[in-house]
Structure formats: C-alpha cells, structure tokens
C-alpha cells in the first residue's frame, strides 16, 4: 500500500483548519501550523514527509508572503507544491504569489471538492518532477530526460547535429492484456537493458522512458546510426521476447530548430512514428514538414464536414453492376463524391480513411443512405422499375446498436421496398464481434434487406466465416489478384476456387475492379455472376446513370422489334425451341461476339458446321487460309456495322466453285459487346 501523503495547512483560523482537516484526512495525513513561522519550523522538522502546503496569506506573526520569501531560499523544498488561499479583495496578491513561486490558487472560503482536485493535480505534477528515474526500468523519467536533453542541446547543439528518436511497441497493450502487467514490464525492462547496451557505443547518447511503452533517445545524428539503433532494438528486443512477435516503430526528428521545446521535438518524432505503425517492413520514419501539412489537411477535412453535410456537398455517384450472363446492368453501387465549393472534387481516398478513424463516417454513411432512398423514391414516382442500389455500411455503423432501426425508419419514410436497398459490409468488420454482427444481419434479413460482403479477400477473414454468416452476395476485388507482383497464375486459381466455393454456398459473386476484356473473359469462364469496374462503366453522376439505363433499355427494345432478332440467351440453351429451330434451318448461320476488334464464334448451326467449317478435300492448309480470309472479311464487316455504317452483302468462294453470299446483321448489343449474325447463302449457280 502507498503511504498517505502528508499535507500541511497553514492558517490562523482554527475553524478553517478543523474543517479542512476533516475533508482532507480521508485521503491524506494532515498537519497544521497557525502562521508562517510555525510552518517553517514544522518543515525543518519533517522535511521529507510534507508533500504539499495549503497556505493562507493573511496571518499574524509571519504572513504568507514572508513565508514564501523564506521558503524559496531552501533548495530542498523546491518540489513541494504550495497552493494559496486568496480572497477577492486582493487581486494584486495573485501576481505577487506567482512571482513567489506558488503553484496554484483556491478561493476562500474553500470549496472542499475543488481543493481536493487541485491538490491531486499538484501532487501528480510534483511526483513526476521529483522522480528522476522510472521505477520499472530505471531509465530517466520524461521530465528528467527532457531536462537533460535541453542541457545537452544548449551545450552542444551548435557544434553538431542531433536527432530525437521516439519509439514504442506496436500493440503493446495486447501483451499487457493477454499475459499480464508483469510480462509487459519484463518486455519494457528488456528494452531498457538494450538501450543501456547501445548507449555504450555512442557519445552524448541520452535516453529515457516517456510513458507506458514509449521511449525516447536523443543522439548525434547520422543516418547510419539511426538505422543501427532501430535495427538493434528491433532484432534484440524480439530475440529477448520470442513469444510476442514484437515490432518497434521509431519516429525520428532530425533537430533543425533548437529553439523549440523538447516536448515539441517529441511531438514531431511522434508524428513521424505514426507513419510506420502497422506496416510490417518499416520501423523507421522521419519527420518532415509535410507531416505537419498532412495533419493540417486532415484537420481541415474534419472541420469542413458539418458544413459539407449541411450544404449537401457530398454527392451520390453510381457505378453499374453487370450481369455477366446477360451482359446487362443489374443495379449499381452508390459511392460518395465530394464536390467542394473551393477545392473542387475531393476523392474518397482523401477523406474516407480520415472519417473512418474518428467515426465521422457513421454520419456520412447515413447521409448517403438517405440520398439513395430519395433517389429510389424519385424513380418509383416516375413509374420506373429500378434495380437495387447498394450502399456501403462502414464499421462504426455495423456496430451501431441502432443500425437496424435507422435503416428501417429510412425505408419506411421513403416507402422503399427493402430489397431495393442492398448493404455492403466490409469484410474486416465481420471479424471483431461476430455475434453482434450476426444478430444485426439476421434482423436486417428479416426486414428484407440483401447483404453483400465487400472487399472479400482483402483482410484476414477465412472462408469459414462465409458459411456462418447470412450473406446474399460476395464481392471480391480484382485488385486482390494483383497483389502478387509476379504474374504466375496463382491469383487466378485462388479466385476460381473462391467463386466455386461461393457457388457451393449458393452465394452469387460480384467481382469489382474489372478493367480489361481479358478479365471479363476469365470471369465468365469461371462462372462468376456479376462484374463491376471501369471496363463497363466508371462511377457516374445520377443523371449519367439514368441516361445509361435509358440507353440500355432503348437497345433492348430495338433488338426485340428487329425482325431478324434472335433471343440470344435462348441460343445458349441447346434444348430451347429457338435453338432447335436454329439448327433446323437450311441456311448456314453463325453467331459471333464482336468486341473491341475481337471476333469470336459463339454458336453456329449444323448447316454451317457441315458446309463451311467442315474441312473438305482441299487440305488443311488451304482450309485454314480460307477460314482466316472469312474471319478477316467478317471483322471488316462488323467494324462497319459497329460504327453505324451500312454493310453490303459480301461474296466469297468457300471451296472450288462453291460461292456464298454473306449477310451480316447486328442482333444484340450489351454496352460494347455486340452480337452479330452472319447468314451464308449459296450463290454458286448464279455465279
């Protein structure tokens, strides 16, 4: 048990002393004196004991001011805080008291609660100043260290360059929590011993423990020395504590301004250290002025948010999702964009992470949900039949106890069928408190919301989670494949199995970040259901999205009206009527997919297979040459049609004296994929 601190009350009024004694004796030992002279005698007697003095100013024999004058001359009392009791009458005495070295004031008559609070603060401060050595590690305490650094820099700062290094252990709290304070202390002590060892290698090497797991070093600056220090700490401290996989993060401020306080140097090193927190391979980061600039930026973005929400500077952009079977869009994801009145567009990458860090994202999310509901309402009112729009739900909201109510109220307010508002929950958020997440998801499901797991594969989640969670769609980011720097096909295999497994669980997958036709082909080939990405469309303002949908619908309508239109989807189904009919036709017909100058035969009827594709007795070489010629001819024709030009029927010789006239038609179009039909009429006789 800690010994009680002793407090000395100096006051001439017995009543006051008695009352204070009552109040303070619960937590402190209390001694008292009736005037300055008595107080000085008591002090001389019990020098070591007295931790704090509460001093009245006006007293007989020796008043408070005279006491302070004498008290101040004793070096050994330097760290004993004095709190003075003043009354309103005497304004000028406060200044005089401060000059006399008083720490703090309280108003008379005393408010006991306030006085106790002041006493505790003063004691804490003095305790820190008194202690030169940290109890756990034996290193300098923060105050001692700062003082030593100040002295060293004042003496030597002119003649050489110094660096201030601040470091700590990533996730040190976990060690304390899991293994106990004692184990935590052991780690701290091992760091202290390592610092002792390193210090022998340098001159003018000062070090101390700032607080908790934070240490600081001030040493002459040379880049290689800093690297040496960081390496030695990292490697040896890890060696000494094999069980914990320790990572040390060092922030370095190369001191170029000796006029600033040591605490400010610490702040700068601290700011730098934040830069390497959580990164596996970096444990040293240097301060530079841009860090301050970043911090200012960050503050700006935080300060602006209220105004931006009020003035509706945030806008909903929509990125279509494409059904890979029909190549038509099926709904969209709502993504926030910030149109700042002075700065123009600010990308989500600049503000989302900041808002995530301090929880503001919760409000931004809700703003987006509301605007998406408003939009859906508008479409419904216009008599449209919108597809679902998905919104992002960030971690704070996933753990918001009112999440379900908030969403329920929103869809009720705007009379939105719940299946039209899909929710994207980021994968990493599933991991923290699975029970809680599962409970809210289950409630949301009951209300009819559809839930997507976003960014699957980006975090640490195991596939195992999937089977326990009530998820309706899996969103996988294409980028997660590109994390392999080398292209070695591994990523593709992983994606293939992820999608296959999702199928087993009856989970449709959406792959996002799809940028190239090769990726599209690959995804179709492995049976992925939906895609989202720049290849199809970038996130766009609402008006553009409406135009996009209108164009799609127009296309659809046009194709249906076309006499020669073939229901392409039906053709894939080999047993459908269309398909059977197609095969029965006495004219060779082939259906191609044409996209960005690439031509692919999708389907041909039996007549085509027998008459044209079949290699007759002309030899393989010749056959191939003719097929290639046909291919080129079709490509040219398709290019014309794709550009909106008219294309005349073309005639060509399939084999000796067998001539065909090819007629080409556009039968379907989904964004930039065109489905073309070519019919081959035998015109040999006429020829």
Binding residues vs ligand C2E (CB under 6 A): 319, 335-336, 347-349, 352, 361, 365, 368, 392, 394, 424, 454-455, 512-515, 533-534, 539
To the nearest whole angstrom, how small is the minimum distance from the Cβ of residue 626 to ligand C2E? 40
Specify the pairing of strand 598-604 against strand 589-595: antiparallel
115 contact choice in Mg ion, ligand C2E, none (CB below 5 to 8 Å, kind-dependent): none
To the nearest whole angstrom, how small is the minimum distance from the Cβ of residue 389 to Mg ion? 12
| Nearest C-alpha neighbor of 605 from the set 594, 616, 591, 624 | 591
To the nearest whole angstrom, how small is the minimum distance from the Cβ of residue 462 to Mg ion? 18
Closer of 229 and 498 to Mg ion (Cβ): 498
Find how far residue 624's CA is from the centre of its chain: 55
Closer of 106 and 335 to ligand C2E (Cβ): 335
Pick one of 38, 56, 134, 455: the residue that binds Mg ion (CB under 5 A).
455
Site membership for Mg ion, residue 38 (CB under 5 A): no
CA distances from 364 to 312, 342, 349, 369, 395 (A): 11, 20, 14, 9, 12
Closer of 213 and 454 to Mg ion (Cβ): 454
To the nearest whole angstrom, how small is the minimum distance from the Cβ of residue 455 to Mg ion? 4
To the nearest whole angstrom, how small is the minimum distance from the Cβ of residue 468 to ligand C2E? 23
Site membership for Mg ion, residue 392 (CB under 5 A): yes
Closer of 39 and 335 to ligand C2E (Cβ): 335
Closer of 11 and 365 to Mg ion (Cβ): 365
Please give the structure tokens belonging to residue 38: 């008595």
Closer of 510 and 612 to Mg ion (Cβ): 510
Closer of 230 and 372 to ligand C2E (Cβ): 372
Closer of 5 and 519 to ligand C2E (Cβ): 519
546 contact choice in ligand C2E, Mg ion, none (CB below 5 to 8 Å, kind-dependent): none
Range in contact with Mg ion (rule: CB under 5 A) among 118-126, 252-260, 292-300, 449-457: 449-457
335 contact choice in Mg ion, ligand C2E, none (CB below 5 to 8 Å, kind-dependent): ligand C2E
To the nearest whole angstrom, how small is the minimum distance from the Cβ of residue 662 to Mg ion? 45
CA distances from 401 to 410, 432, 553, 573, 639 (A): 16, 15, 41, 48, 57
To the nearest whole angstrom, how small is the minimum distance from the Cβ of residue 425 to ligand C2E? 10
To the nearest whole angstrom, how small is the minimum distance from the Cβ of residue 277 to Mg ion? 24
Closer of 441 and 637 to Mg ion (Cβ): 441
Give 538's DSSP letter.
-
To the nearest whole angstrom, how small is the minimum distance from the Cβ of residue 454 to Mg ion? 4
Closer of 122 and 368 to ligand C2E (Cβ): 368
To the nearest whole angstrom, how small is the minimum distance from the Cβ of residue 368 to ligand C2E? 4
90 contact choice in Mg ion, ligand C2E, none (CB below 5 to 8 Å, kind-dependent): none
Nearest residue to ligand C2E, scored by beta-carbon proximity: 533
Site membership for Mg ion, residue 213 (CB under 5 A): no
Maximum Cα–Cα distance for the chain, whole Å? Answer: 139
Question: Phi/psi zone of residue 340: left (φ > 0), alpha (ψ -120 to 50 degrees), beta?
Answer: beta
Asked whether the CA dihedral 334, 339, 345, 351 is positive or negative, the reply is negative
Strands of 513-633 (E only): list them.
530-532, 540-541, 589-595, 598-604
To the nearest whole angstrom, how small is the minimum distance from the Cβ of residue 497 to ligand C2E? 21
386 contact choice in Mg ion, ligand C2E, none (CB below 5 to 8 Å, kind-dependent): none
Contact status, residue 234 vs residue 248, Cβ threshold 8 Å = yes
Q: Give, for 248, the enclosing helix (H) or strand (E).
A: strand 248-254
308 contact choice in Mg ion, ligand C2E, none (CB below 5 to 8 Å, kind-dependent): none
Range in contact with Mg ion (rule: CB under 5 A) among 148-156, 190-198, 324-332, 421-429: 421-429
Closer of 394 and 605 to ligand C2E (Cβ): 394
534 contact choice in Mg ion, ligand C2E, none (CB below 5 to 8 Å, kind-dependent): ligand C2E
Closer of 32 and 509 to Mg ion (Cβ): 509
- Concatenating the DSSP letter of every residue in 5-61 gives PEEEEE-S-HHHHHHHHHHHTTTSEEEEESSHHHHHHHHHHSTTTEEEEEEES--SS
Sheet holding 29-33, edge to edge: 29-33, 6-10, 50-56, 82-86, 104-107
Closer of 348 and 508 to ligand C2E (Cβ): 348
Looking up tokens 């002459």, which residue turns up?
220
Closer of 213 and 424 to Mg ion (Cβ): 424
To the nearest whole angstrom, how small is the minimum distance from the Cβ of residue 437 to ligand C2E? 16
348 contact choice in ligand C2E, Mg ion, none (CB below 5 to 8 Å, kind-dependent): ligand C2E
Residue 21: CB partners within 8 Å, gap ≥ 6? 9, 30, 32
- Number of other residues whose CB lies within 10 A of the CB of residue 370: 16
Contact status, residue 262 vs residue 255, Cβ threshold 8 Å = no
285 contact choice in ligand C2E, Mg ion, none (CB below 5 to 8 Å, kind-dependent): none
Nearest residue to Mg ion, scored by beta-carbon proximity: 424
To the nearest whole angstrom, how small is the minimum distance from the Cβ of residue 440 to Mg ion? 18
CA 249 to CA 563: how far, in whole Å? Answer: 71
Find how far residue 469's CA is from the centre of its chain: 23
On the CB side of 83, how many CA atoms lie within 13 Å of its CA? 23
Sheet holding 248-254, edge to edge: 206-211, 214-220, 162-169, 248-254, 284-286
CA angle 117, 121, 123 (to 5 degrees): 115
Pick one of 454, 529, 546, 593: the residue that binds Mg ion (CB under 5 A).
454
Find how far residue 281's CA is from the centre of its chain: 19
CA 457 to CA 481: how far, in whole Å? Answer: 9
What is the 3 state secondary structure string of 614-667?
A: CCCCCCHHHHHHHHHHHHHHHHHHHHHHHCCCCCCCEEEEEECCEEEEEEEEEE
CA 663 to CA 666: how far, in whole Å? Answer: 10
CA distances from 588 to 405, 573, 606 (A): 61, 19, 7
Closer of 361 and 502 to ligand C2E (Cβ): 361
Contact status, residue 331 vs residue 320, Cβ threshold 8 Å = yes
To the nearest whole angstrom, how small is the minimum distance from the Cβ of residue 283 to ligand C2E? 28
CA 277 to CA 297: how far, in whole Å? Answer: 20
361 contact choice in ligand C2E, Mg ion, none (CB below 5 to 8 Å, kind-dependent): ligand C2E
Pick one of 134, 365, 424, 593: the residue that binds Mg ion (CB under 5 A).
424
CA 232 to CA 226: how far, in whole Å? Answer: 10
Residues in a beta bridge with 10? 33, 55
Subset of 609-628 contacting Mg ion (CB under 5 A): none
Closer of 185 and 356 to Mg ion (Cβ): 356
Write the binding mask 80 to 119 for Mg ion: x where contact by CB under 5 A, - elsewhere: ----------------------------------------
Number of residues that bind Mg ion (CB under 5 A): 4
365 contact choice in ligand C2E, Mg ion, none (CB below 5 to 8 Å, kind-dependent): ligand C2E
To the nearest whole angstrom, how small is the minimum distance from the Cβ of residue 365 to ligand C2E? 5
To the nearest whole angstrom, how small is the minimum distance from the Cβ of residue 473 to ligand C2E? 13
CA distances from 397 to 115, 361, 392, 426, 595 (A): 42, 8, 10, 11, 42
Query: Given the rule CB under 5 A, which residues bind Mg ion?
Result: 392, 424, 454-455
């Amino acid at each position: 048990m800690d010994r009680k601190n002793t407090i000395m009350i100096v006051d001439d009024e017995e009543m006051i002393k008695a009352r204070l004694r009552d109040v303070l004796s619960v937590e402190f030992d209390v001694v008292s004196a009736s005037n300055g002279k008595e107080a000085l005698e008591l002090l001389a007697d019990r020098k070591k004991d007295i931790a704090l003095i509460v001093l009245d100013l006006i007293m007989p024999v020796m008043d408070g001011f005279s006491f302070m004058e004498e008290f101040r001359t004793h070096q050994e009392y330097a760290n004993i805080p004095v709190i003075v009791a003043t009354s309103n009458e005497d304004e000028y005495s406060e200044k005089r008291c401060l000059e006399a070295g008083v720490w703090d004031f309280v108003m008379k008559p005393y408010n006991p609660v306030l006085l106790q609070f002041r006493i505790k603060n003063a004691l804490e401060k003095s305790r820190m100043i008194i202690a030169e050595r940290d109890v756990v590690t034996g290193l300098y305490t923060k105050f001692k260290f700062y003082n030593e650094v100040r002295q060293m820099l004042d003496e030597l700062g002119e003649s050489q360059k110094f660096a201030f290094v601040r470091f700590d252990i990533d996730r040190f709290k976990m060690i304390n929590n899991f293994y106990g304070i004692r184990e935590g202390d052991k780690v701290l002590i091992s760091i202290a011993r390592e610092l002792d060892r390193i210090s022998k290698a340098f001159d003018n090497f000062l070090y101390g423990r700032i607080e908790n797991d934070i240490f600081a070093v001030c040493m002459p600056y040379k880049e290689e020395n800093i690297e040496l220090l960081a390496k030695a700490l990292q490697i040896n401290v890890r060696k000494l504590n094999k069980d914990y996989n320790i990572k040390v993060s060092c922030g370095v401020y190369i001191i170029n301004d000796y006029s600033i306080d040591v605490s400010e140097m610490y702040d700068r090193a601290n700011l730098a250290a934040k830069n390497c927190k959580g990164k596996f391979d970096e444990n040293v980061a240097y301060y530079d002025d841009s860090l301050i600039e970043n911090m200012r930026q960050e503050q700006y973005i935080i300060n602006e948010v209220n105004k931006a929400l009020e003035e509706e500077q945030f806008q909903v952009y929509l990125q279509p999702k494409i059904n890979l079977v029909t190549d038509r869009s099926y709904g969209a994801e709502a993504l926030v964009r910030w149109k700042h009145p002075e700065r123009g567009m600010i990308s989500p990458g600049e503000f989302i992470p900041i808002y995530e860090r301090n929880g503001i994202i919760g409000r931004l999310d809700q703003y987006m949900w509301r605007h998406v509901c408003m939009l859906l309402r508008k479409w419904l009112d216009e008599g449209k039949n919108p597809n679902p729009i998905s919104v992002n739900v960030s971690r704070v909201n996933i753990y918001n106890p009112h999440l379900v109510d908030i969403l329920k109220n929103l869809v009720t307010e705007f009379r939105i069928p719940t299946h039209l508002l899909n929710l994207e929950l980021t994968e990493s958020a599933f991991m923290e408190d699975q029970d809680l997440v599962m409970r809210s998801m289950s409630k949301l499901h009951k209300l009819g919301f559809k839930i997507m797991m976003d960014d699957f594969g980006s975090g640490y989640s195991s596939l195992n989670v999937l089977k326990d969670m009530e998820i309706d769609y899996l969103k996988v980011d294409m980028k997660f494949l590109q994390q392999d720097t080398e292209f070695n096909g591994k990523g593709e295999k992983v994606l293939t199995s992820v999608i296959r497994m999702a199928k087993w669980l009856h989970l449709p997958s959406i792959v996002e970040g799809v940028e190239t036709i090769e990726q599209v082909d690959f995804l179709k080939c492995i049976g992925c259901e939906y895609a989202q990405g720049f290849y199809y469309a970038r996130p766009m303002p609402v008006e553009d999205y409406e135009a996009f949908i209108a164009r799609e619908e127009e296309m659809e309508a046009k194709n249906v009206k076309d006499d020669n239109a073939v229901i392409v989807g039906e053709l894939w189904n080999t047993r459908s009527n269309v398909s059977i009919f197609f095969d029965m036709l006495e004219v060779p017909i082939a259906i191609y997919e044409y996209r960005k100058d690439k031509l692919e035969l999708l389907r041909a009827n039996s007549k085509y297979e027998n008459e044209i594709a079949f290699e007759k007795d002309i030899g393989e070489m010749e056959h191939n040459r003719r097929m290639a010629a046909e291919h080129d001819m079709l490509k040219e024709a398709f290019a014309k049609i794709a550009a909106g030009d008219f294309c005349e029927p073309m005639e060509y010789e399939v084999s000796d004296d067998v001539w065909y006239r090819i007629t080409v038609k556009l039968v379907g179009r989904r964004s930039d994929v065109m489905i073309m039909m070519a019919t081959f009429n035998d015109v040999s006789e006429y020829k």
